[in-house]
Amino acid sequence: MPLPQKKRWESMAKGLVLGALFTSFLLLLYSYAVPPLHAGLASTTPEASEPCSPDPTEPEAVTPANGSVGGCQPRRDIVFMKTHKTGSSTLLNILFRFGQKHGLKFAFPNGRNDFDYPAYFARSLVQDYRPGACFNIICNHMRFHYDEVRGLVQPNATFITVLRDPARLFESSFHYFGSVVPLTWKLSGRDKLAEFLQDPDRYYDPSGYNAHYLRNLLFFDLGYDSGLDPGSPRVQEHILEVERRFHLVLLQEYFDESLVLLKDLLCWELEDVLYFKLNARRDSPVPRLSGELYRRATAWNMLDARLYRHFNASFWRKVEAFGRERMAREVAALRQANERMRRICIDGGRAVDAAAIQDSAMQPWQPLGTKSILGYNLKKSIGQRHAQLCRRMLTPEIQYLMDLGVNLWITKLWKLIRDFLRW
């Protein structure tokens, strides 16, 4: 075949591939943009409030005979309401490990790594869902819908979530999601965040695509109206409802203390809550919010600020009840054990840029347009005793979900397109 002919075929083939990808991409965008029919909160059927019933044909997950610590039974039924940009990926890894170790049943989404976020959670989104089905752990991103979640777990399941100082959360969310929130495209300066905070009302449009990422994201994730007037009595009602529904609200700023309280609540062992910080962002070239901008960010996210204030206060009451000294001892023990694992597992002993990660199974998911999320290299030689734990502790969320057998075709397709376009 003469060369020009071959070239033409090649470019036609490329065009076809590109066209196909573009079409899938549009379909994908469409499925994200169109609110699903089950988005309404009113969809609760009577069945929703009935407890699930375990399948008697399924073997009970094995708990080691010596599994109980200090007389309590380790809790295995857990709902983790995974909030955005709060260190929740690290907690997810902890839950994945625990569930895998004890052969527990996860309620996973189908096709992607969240439950159709930002639409409300619905039971029908769970992979292999059938009415009455019981699950042990629910932990993927969702917009919380209590009645739908409750029907999937035992009535005595433990509900937990994690919050973060809303100004910091806003900053993180702005950097991570900014490029997929069209209303930020109008911002032109070098420091878009500062520009936005100078006059948020000028740029913000509550009905804009993905706008929820940029205001009161915690309130939104927890299933409430993130555009409520801060003076509305409903704000306090919602906060008290969160308090009634969740057994423990962890705080990203006091992560180790939170894990100690969690371990105590769940009657787990120290090994279960060991962790490496996952999904951390490289220190950004723009300085962290300070002074005036911090105050502005707090005021802009006033609902979240009130939520955080409430749970920061109750958190310290819990620490008080737990015992300050006992807390200090246990936090020290946790840090020491984490440090030990770091030396055992991590090549070079620290997180590195994506480009420096050799094993693709260890590559973390990146936000659109940047490679700012750090990951780890697993040491080449790890003793048999720790090899499995090290690998599990370091495996990023998406790969771990695949290891656990989750079907992620939408997420994978999206990654393919991004790799192709070098986004």
Ligand X SMILES: *[C@@H]1O[C@H](CO)[C@@H](O)[C@H](O)[C@H]1NC(C)=O
**Residue 132 Rama label (left phi>0; alpha psi -120 to 50; beta):** left
Nearest to 171 by CA among 155, 193, 152, 191: 193
DSSP conformation letters of 81-122: E--TTSSHHHHHHHHHHHHHHTTPPB--BSSSSBSSTTSBP-
Q: At 161, is the secondary structure helix, strand, or coil? A: strand
- Neighbouring CB atoms inside 10 A of 285's CB total 7
Stretch that binds ligand X, among 65-73, 203-211, 225-233, 376-384 (CB under 6 A): 65-73
CB of 304 to ligand X, least distance (A): 12
Binding-site residue total for ligand X (CB under 6 A)?
A: 11
Nearer to ligand X among residue 116 and residue 165 (C-beta) = 165
Q: Does 290 bind ligand X (CB under 6 A)?
A: no
CB of 54 to ligand X, least distance (A): 7
Beta partners for 78? 137, 158
Q: Does 73 bind ligand X (CB under 6 A)?
A: yes
User: CB–CB of 48/150 below 8 Å?
Assistant: yes
Task: Find how far residue 99's CA is from the centre of its chain.
Answer: 17
Among 5, 66, 188, 384, binds ligand X (CB under 6 A): 66
Taking CB under 6 A as the rule, which mask of x and - marks residues 24-43 in contact with ligand X? --------------------
User: CB–CB of 167/297 below 8 Å?
Assistant: yes
Among 32, 204, 294, 316, binds ligand X (CB under 6 A): 316
User: CB–CB of 184/108 below 8 Å?
Assistant: no
- Return the residues of window 159-178 that contact ligand X according to CB under 6 A: 165
Among 4, 64, 233, 285, binds ligand X (CB under 6 A): 64
CB of 72 to ligand X, least distance (A): 8
Beta partners for 80? 160
Stretch that binds ligand X, among 60-68, 135-143, 341-349, 375-383 (CB under 6 A): 60-68
Stretch that binds ligand X, among 62-70, 112-120, 170-178, 401-409 (CB under 6 A): 62-70
Task: Find how far residue 69's CA is from the centre of its chain.
Answer: 29
User: CB–CB of 217/234 below 8 Å?
Assistant: no
Among 24, 154, 210, 363, binds ligand X (CB under 6 A): 154
Stretch that binds ligand X, among 64-72, 85-93, 187-195, 395-403 (CB under 6 A): 64-72
The amino acid sitting at 275 is Y
Q: Does 247 bind ligand X (CB under 6 A)?
A: no
CB of 75 to ligand X, least distance (A): 5
Nearest to 281 by CA among 182, 127, 357, 173: 173
Among 39, 44, 75, 104, binds ligand X (CB under 6 A): 75
**Residue 87 Rama label (left phi>0; alpha psi -120 to 50; beta):** left
Stretch that binds ligand X, among 63-71, 255-263, 288-296, 407-415 (CB under 6 A): 63-71
What CA–CA distances, in Å, run from 5 to 8, 14, 335?
A: 5, 14, 65
Q: Does 388 bind ligand X (CB under 6 A)?
A: no
Stretch that binds ligand X, among 58-66, 210-218, 257-265, 390-398 (CB under 6 A): 58-66
Nearer to ligand X among residue 141 and residue 164 (C-beta) = 164
Output the six-digit token pair for 221.
């994730």
Nearer to ligand X among residue 165 and residue 257 (C-beta) = 165
Nearest to 217 by CA among 290, 270, 163, 180: 163
CB of 68 to ligand X, least distance (A): 10
| Omega prior to 118 cis, within 30 of 0 | yes
Nearer to ligand X among residue 1 and residue 65 (C-beta) = 65
CB of 253 to ligand X, least distance (A): 6
CB of 242 to ligand X, least distance (A): 17
Nearest to 85 by CA among 278, 347, 340, 305: 278
Among 37, 65, 321, 355, binds ligand X (CB under 6 A): 65
Among 124, 179, 312, 407, binds ligand X (CB under 6 A): 312
> In terms of DSSP bridges, do strands 158-163 and 137-138 run parallel, antiparallel, or are they unpaired?
unpaired
Among 57, 156, 360, 381, binds ligand X (CB under 6 A): 156
Residues that bind ligand X (CB under 6 A): 64-66, 73, 75, 154, 156, 165, 253, 312, 316
